[in-house]
Amino acid sequence: MADLSSAEPLPPGSTIGILGGGQLGRMLALAAAELGLRVHIYAPEETSPAAEVTGNAT
């Protein structure tokens, strides 16, 4: 397993992907947006709760 203790934080404007579009994905997407990150949701339904708070869903 990789040692993440020396990992650099993502700079604002970076894009992260979230697998799953339920309530937990929605909360993670909102928290990421507060940190200045862009979010892409990967979920079976494009109308999932997480997709409602981002413009990017697959």
* pLDDT tens readout for residues 25-48: 999 999 999 999 999 999 988 789
Which residues, at least 6 apart from 36, have a Cβ–Cβ distance to it below 8 Å? 12, 13
How many domains does the chain fold into?
1
Structural domain includes residue 58: no
Higher pLDDT, 7 or 39: 39
pLDDT averaged over every residue in the chain: 89
pLDDT at 18 over 80: yes
* pLDDT of res. 4: 72
Has residue 20 been placed in a domain? Answer: yes
In a domain, 29, yes or no: yes
Which phi and psi angles does 57 have, rounded to 5°?
-145, 145
**Local structure of 44: helix, strand or coil:** coil
Residue 33 in any domain: the answer is yes
Q: Read off the pTM.
A: 0.80
22 in a structural domain: yes
In a domain, 5, yes or no: no
